[in-house]
Amino acid sequence: MENNLNNKAILLMEDGTQIFGNSIGIDGIVIGETIFNTAITGYQEIITDPSYYKQIIILTYPHIGNVGTNIDDNESSKIYAKGLIIHNLSKIPSNYRSTEKLDVFLKKKNVVAIEGIDTRYLTRLICKKKINKIALISNKKNFNYKSILYKIRKFKGLQGLDLVKDITTKINYPWILGNKNKQIIKNYVFSMHVIVLDFGVKNSILKMLIDRKCKVTVVSAFISYKDLILLNPDGIFLSNGPGDPTPCHYIIDIVKKILITDIPVFGVCFGHQILAIANGAKIIKMDIGHHGSNHPVQDLENNKVLITTQNHNFTIDKNNFPKNLRITHKSLFDNTIEGIHCINKPAFGFQGHPEASPGPHDSSILFDYFVKLIHIYCRKKYKRF
């Protein structure tokens, strides 16, 4: 059966449910896993986060696009998500930094997007039915409903796939842009060399390291251990990234070798899970992932509560938790593991996003702790600090 759309779009779920809306992106058909993000602000940062690679994003806040888009808030050079679903697009953005409207931005970035959907209702529907595979059909003159529904049901999802290989940097490069003055920093006397393994790193993470006077080099996830050590790192950062870390054996193997040394290691989100696997933990898929900027996390070292930004569909399995790790943070939403620390090594991980962007900066202190570990390491290695 063929159907026609004229400036319209359809959201088609794997159970056959159809929800109609309006196209605000390019014409096309995309099929993928969907996630919902509950953040009220920061839509530009969310949709340019490489962690959303091959996913379809639902934004639950009803009004999106009210501040337009700008050149400063991108977390990467492109939109890696397959599609975007929102309730209401603000037609007239109002912000002194705005350079173009959201729908124009989406079209330039080649994204299929739909508005006019009650995204809070859709979120409840997804949670109730426990289905997350959908298709977005935008402005197609002819499409076959049965054929698309068949493809949705045949789609196996993202678990077990190595997504990092598609988005990691192909060449190593220095990062020199910070947050504090938003200018290229030329006058810092860099005293700490941090190597960032790029699994889909956000720009804000790199800026946080620069703000702490680190010399930052971003390297491919495929770098060899030998080449990594030749860069003479004082600290190693395992970045955020998309999907399931378990199939990324080449990354896990290099982290195991790093852990034999005393080089400080900080893993965030995907990198946190990689660190856990390298220490013997297992990763499991969550029924409902964490995506938002209001997630309460308890620091088990001092019982303080941090409001954090989260973006993950996988978590560390509590069963058979390795003895060489200790749990440092837990989610107050579902008690999942949010932080780990190696018992006898200066290596730790955090499941949330301490750089936020968007979100609160409660957990940015973890960057300070990382720098503290680097200082200790450098005192032993170079007799400095």
Residue of 295, 338, 355, 378 marked catalytic: 355
Bridge-based pairing of strands 28-37 and 133-138 is antiparallel
CA distance 322 to 149: 42
CA distance 183 to 231: 26
Largest CA-CA distance found in the chain, in angstroms, rounded? 74
Residue of 14, 272, 353, 378 marked catalytic: 353
- DSSP secondary structure of 186-218: -S----EEEEEEESS--HHHHHHHHHTTEEEEE
End-to-end CA distance of the chain: 71
Known catalytic membership, residue 214:
no
Q: Is 205 left (phi over 0), alpha (psi -120 to 50) or beta?
A: alpha
CA distance 98 to 67: 6
Residue of 269, 312, 338, 341 marked catalytic: 269
Known catalytic membership, residue 272:
no
Q: Is 316 helix (H, G, I), strand (E, B) or coil?
A: strand
- What tokens does 237 get? 């950062």
CA distance 344 to 351: 20
Bridge-based pairing of strands 18-23 and 8-13 is antiparallel
Rg of the chain over all Cα atoms, to the nearest angstrom: 21
Known catalytic membership, residue 63:
no
CA distance 107 to 27: 9
Residue 51's contacts (CB-CB under 8 Å, 6 or more residues apart) are 80, 200, 202, 240, 241, 242, 269, 270, 311, 312
- Residues across the chain: 385
Query: Looking at the annotation, which residues are catalytic?
Result: 269, 353, 355
